[in-house]
Amino acid sequence: MRVLGLDIGEKRIGVAISDELGWTAQGVEIIRRPNGDDSWLERLGQLIESYQVNSIVVGFPRNMDGSIGQRGEACREIAEKIRQRFSLPVHLWDERLSTMAVERTLIEADISRKKRKKVVDQMAASWILQGYLDARRRHTIE
């Protein structure tokens, strides 16, 4: 049972996939997301088919006080669009601080700013998906 993880940004979408047992997450790629264009859904569909995905986890940005802001609402709408288009379960997963944690990890690994920009979205998707997989394994979610 494979799970696909997405870190949705305004211009790019980081993509991660679980192993078949649903234990580990690994970054796959970054999908470009042109403004106002849903062409990125085509590539997402190819990945879903290629990896035989059973469900999708979308990073859900919340404010630090737990409230849902403009970015959170946008991600919720995109998650619903994905659910309708691919008829798969789509789970929203709290992604607070995921990008910051990934940035910190890359800085500590002495990765240049230019190289960090190329991988941060993909790594954030892995971080989000791994959090979901770990919680599911602990039976704190369905």
Q: Please, what are the domains in the chain?
A: 2-137 (3.30.420.140)
Instruction: Find the range with the poorest average confidence among 17-21, 36-40, 112-116.
Output: 112-116
Task: State the pLDDT at residue 3.
Answer: 97
As beta bridge partners, residue 5 has 16, 57
Task: State the pLDDT at residue 65.
Answer: 79
State CA 130 to chain mean position distance: 10
What is the identity of the amino acid at 86?
F
Count of Cβ atoms closer than 10 Å to residue 34 Cβ: 9
CB 59 within 8 A of CB 125: yes
CB 61 within 8 A of CB 11: no
Q: Comparing 115 with 28, which gets the higher pLDDT?
A: 28
Q: Tell me the residue ranges of DSSP E strands in 1-142.
A: 2-8, 12-18, 25-32, 53-60, 90-94
| Predicted model pTM | 0.85
Tell the residue number behind the tokens 């997301």, with chain if given: 33
> pLDDT, tens digit, for every residue of 31-41?
998 876 888 99
CB 20 within 8 A of CB 2: yes
| The pLDDT of residue 61 is above 90 | no
Segment 134-140 shows an average pLDDT of 83
